[in-house]
């Protein structure tokens, strides 16, 4: 099968009926990713960096089918090369090389298309698939340094807990009458989970826990919901991408709240 045929996961969007069903692999991916990162946070920066890199590699493998790349194998290679380059910029505290690492991924995306021998069909979509995979990786890199101090770890754990609790809304998707309320359900579940985590950690004020949990739960659930109409979500690879991506994208939330504290 040629690479171009592998991009066939994105021809037509699913109907609302096809989209409104529980994606068990996505739910599982969210729970595994949040659990892995929360466990890693107890060991500081390096365990979180390694866990983030492992999830970024999983995203590199799974994302091209969701993004609709017409050369999924090549896009995977670009993301696999970019993942360690981006994540390892968090070794230092200043993240001064993160933008350069993302730029490297963008350059590699263009170079890969210049070397393509199957024509230029779906060129823009393929490039956007690469760029879309770089965003969650870059965002996740922002939370690695937070694991070095107690307050940062608290924000990280509350964020991850909120994301895990927000999957309650995913489980209610088949109930179409609740469709207009699913965003609210995700928000309330995330806040409840975040408050529980904050109380157990006893590091964050209630207002801070509510704020970070609300932001994390809403962003994580929205990420998955936006992708719900993609045909790739019918397969395991697409569901993994949606789940892992919706967790990695939360790095920016942790960073913003840590800086504001």
Among positive and negative, which fits the CA dihedral 198, 183, 41, 258?
negative
- Per-residue pLDDT at 48 exceeds 90: yes
Looking at the predicted structure, is the pLDDT value of residue 168 above 70? yes
Does 11 have pLDDT greater than 60? no
Distance CA 102, CA 180 (A): 36
* pLDDT, the chain, mean: 90
* Band of pLDDT at residue 217, cut at 50, 70 and 90: very high
Which residues form the domain of 47?
A: 3-260
- Could you report the per-residue pLDDT of 63-95, keeping only the tens digit for each? 999 988 888 999 999 999 999 999 999 998 788
pLDDT bracket for residue 3 (50, 70, 90): very low
Nearest to 194 by CA among 184, 183, 180, 204: 204
Q: Which is more confident, 1 or 157?
A: 157
Q: Which residue has the higher pLDDT, 176 or 49?
A: 49
The total of structural domains in the chain comes to: 1
Give how far Cα 46 sits from Cα of 43, 126, 143, 229, Å.
7, 33, 12, 37
User: Mean pLDDT throughout 214-225?
Assistant: 96
- Residues 19, 243, 11, 22, Cα dihedral to 10°: -20
The mean pLDDT value for 106-127 works out to 84
The predicted pLDDT at position 177 comes to 81
Does residue 4 have a pLDDT over 50? no
- How far is residue 248's CA from residue 37's CA, in Å, rounded to a whole number? 10
């Amino acid at each position: 099968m040629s690479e171009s045929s592998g991009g066939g996961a994105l021809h037509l969007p699913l109907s609302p009926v096809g989209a409104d069903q529980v994606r068990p692999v996505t739910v599982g991916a969210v729970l595994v990713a949040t659990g892995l990162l929360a466990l890693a946070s107890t060991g500081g920066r390096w365990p979180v960096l390694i866990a983030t890199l492992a999830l970024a590699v999983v995203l590199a493998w799974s994302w091209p089918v969701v993004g609709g790349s017409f050369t999924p194998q090549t896009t995977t290679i670009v993301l696999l090369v970019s993942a360690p380059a981006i994540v390892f910029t968090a070794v230092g505290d200043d993240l001064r090389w993160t933008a350069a690492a993302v730029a490297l991924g963008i350059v590699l995306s263009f170079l890969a298309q210049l070397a393509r021998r199957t024509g230029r069909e779906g060129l823009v979509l393929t490039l956007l698939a690469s760029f879309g995979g770089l965003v969650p990786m870059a965002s996740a890199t922002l939370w690695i340094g937070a694991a070095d101090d107690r307050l940062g770890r608290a924000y990280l754990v509350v964020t991850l807990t909120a994301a895990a609790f927000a999957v309650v809304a995913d489980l209610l998707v088949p109930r179409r009458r609740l469709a207009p309320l699913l965003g609210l359900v995700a928000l309330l579940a995330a806040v409840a989970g975040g408050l529980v985590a904050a109380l157990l950690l006893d590091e964050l004020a209630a207002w801070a826990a509510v704020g970070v949990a609300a932001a994390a739960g809403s962003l994580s659930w929205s990420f998955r919901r936006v992708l719900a109409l993609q045909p790739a979500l019918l397969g395991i690879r697409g569901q993994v991408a949606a789940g892992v991506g919706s967790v990695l994208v939360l790095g920016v939330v942790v960073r913003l709240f840590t800086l504001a504290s």
